[in-house]
A and B are shown apart, each in its own frame.
Chain A
Amino acid sequence: MSKFHISATVNGEAVEYLCDPKQTLLDVLRDELNLTGSKEGCSSGDCGACSVTLDGRLVCSCLVLGVEMQGRSVETIESMASGEKLHPLQQKFLEAAALQCGFCTPGFLVAAKSLLEKNPNPTESETRYWLAGNLCRCTGYDKIIRAVLETAADMRGSK
């Protein structure tokens, strides 16, 4: 079966790629575009390690086909820092030790950024529910939740 030629926007830049119909967006990001920040955990939409935003909406990139991307726009963890300058969430995750092995961290950061864009002042409960689709087997979550809430407070304060 022939490959599809897709034109899409990835992290603000126009990209073109060839893909098979069965390749997921995650496969395309990692294997065709060499953007390996998004991780493959479960491949079934349960773990959130592959979280990206698609036209501004938080999704699991393992549950999107690469061929669906024609004309659409995706933001990945690679767009989060501005050059050497980390996003406040990234900085806080480091300071608060909100990661251990780090495999789930890109997904948590993308999901947390999406939360704070929608709701700059989330409660702890709202934060935990928003991030319920991001699994971490190391930290026990408390440090992650605290880091997100502290970042939200910092970002509100600096406005």
Chain B
Amino acid sequence: MSGFQYEAPATVEAAVGFLAGAKGNARVLAGGTDLLVQLRTGAANPDLVVDIKRIGELRQISGNAASGFVIGAAVTGAEIGEHKELAKAWPGFVEAMELIGSTQIQGRATPGGNLCNASPAGDCTPAMFAAGVVCVIAGPNGRREAPVEQIPTGPGKTSLAKGEFIVAIKLPARAKNSGDAYLRMIPRTEMDIAIVGAGVNLTLDASGACTAARVSLGAVAPTVLLVDAAAKALIGSKVDDAALARLAAAASAACKPIDDKRGTIEYRTKVAGVLARRAAVIARDRARS
């Protein structure tokens, strides 16, 4: 095993400095649940690893449901699961994060890591797409914000430029009568990778009609998908059986999956519609309660 330069800076600016100045391949270390496995197998062979867990602002959850939550990029799944106000406002997002791996993995894994690992089958990523998360990105030119769906560009690939890394994810201000949900299909009850994942986030008005919706799918394309046609099937409806049937059809129509050992193209395409529908029902019922 060859070595690498390891840095654990205390500020965002110092981290950007190391990443921007790297000669060769640099990787950000947050929870490390993907990176350490890649180091072990040789899939990753970085010259520089920058550990962002010593940066204070990245270790915090701030804000609230009304103003929006800001979750630092080094906050773990276990910490997210223990945040009662966050779980109340965004149960789908929190459940999606908590679906990842075991208790041990939860002690380390982060939403930003799930996003930047850029697996099409990540569980937290579809929930973040549905929630309308905005990523705060630090880089050599300062900070910028980008919608979460602009980050993954293909399996293992992101749109982040050299020297850039995610410092926080922002969940938007929560409108009244809103709900979100994420469901995934795996052949086991725990500890597996999604064959399909589906996230739904919606808002209802006083009459129960859907005024806003976002629908996402995981593991059915090279990246997680935001499916506008599926969201349009819900908006304006009472999220009734007819709207749910249109949603399911739109979700299946958006799939461009691969055949692999976990599932066939036909199976994934079918299940995407079924899961999107079920997630929409949960999100709707949460929005009503």
Contacts and interface: CB of A to CB of B under 8 A. Distances in A.
A20 interface: yes
B190 A129 contact: yes
Contacts of A46: 191
B190 A67 contact: no
Contacts of B1: 20, 22
Interchain residue pairs A-B with the least CB separation, the first 8: A133-B102, A1-B3, A21-B6, A132-B190, A57-B107, A59-B107, A60-B104, A133-B104
Contacts of B37: 43-45, 63
B36 A65 contact: yes
Contact of B105 (A45, A70, A114, A115): A45
Interface in B1-40: 1-6, 8, 29, 31-33, 36-37, 39-40
A24 B6 CA distance: 13
Interface string A124-136: 0000011111100
Contacts, number: 92
Contact of A44 (B5, B6, B40, B190): B40
A48 interface: yes
A117 to B, nearest CB: 12
A46 B190 CA distance: 11
Nearest to A60: B104
Given A21-B49, A68-B53, A129-B190, A58 B36 contact: no
B104 A59 contact: yes
Nearest to B49: A21
A57 B190 CA distance: 20
The secondary structure that dominates the B interface is: loop
5 contacts: A21-B49, A45-B102, A48-B104, A57-B76, A63-B33
Interface residues of A, number: 33
Contacts of A132: 102-103, 190-191
Given A44-B40, A46-B191, A65 B103 contact: no
Contacts of B40: 43-44
Given A43-B40, A48-B104, A111-B104, A70 B4 contact: no
A158 B2 CA distance: 52
Contacts of B190: 129, 132
A22 B3 contact: yes
Determine which residue in B31, B36, B39, B104 has the highest number of CB atoms from chain A within 10 A of its CB, and name it.
B104
A1 B4 contact: yes
Contacts of A133: 101-105, 191
Nearest to B41: A44
A58 B107 contact: yes
B122 to A, nearest CB: 15
A129 B191 CA distance: 10
Nearest to B6: A21
Contacts of B2: 1, 22
A65 B6 contact: yes
B246 interface: no
Interface in B187-205: 190-191
Given A54-B107, A132-B103, A22 B39 contact: yes
A96 B6 CA distance: 45
Interface string B63-88: 00000000000001010000000000
A144 interface: no
A65 B32 contact: yes
B51 A58 contact: no
B174 interface: no
B29 A65 contact: yes
A20 B3 contact: yes
A63 B102 contact: no
Nearest to A23: B1
B108 interface: yes
B277 to A, nearest CB: 26
A147 to B, nearest CB: 18
B32 A64 contact: yes
A64 B51 CA distance: 11
